[in-house]
Structure 1
């Protein structure tokens, strides 16, 4: 299944914290992408935080992956999770083909 994980910064980072945490966060995120857990990623346009389209067996599995990210584990960010799938009503448009 696919899961959107939408992050929000809930505790501002000082410059020192930003360097320390992001120094771990960026390679961690890249490894998740290379491992296939994160399929696509974007940066939010409305406020600081990423949006990940994840490959996961469930929302709980996606949450377990995200909870290990340094910025979440250290309490600076939180995520909301939304399971998504194909737009099923489109099948009605091709019935009978």
Structure 2
């Protein structure tokens, strides 16, 4: 899985420059392991991790833990579980 341009921009915006490449790599690996190739879920999971983490490494680790235990819990805490989640992602991350 390759992160979308808007997800990559958000990683670069939210995390310090010296951490953003590592965060992006970890995020790619996490999304791949959680979604098992379900394309529709990849960006949603990545967005949920970033929304929950708010640029904080500790919150990023918590989001990863949520995703690995049950990605649906992550969607709930990131407010991407309900109808309208696509619009929230567009609002938060911009259009492709």
Query: Normalised by the size of structure 2, how large is the TM-score?
Result: 0.34
Greater length-normalized contact order (CA 8 Å, ≥ 6 residues apart): 1
Higher strand share: 1
Higher helix share: 2
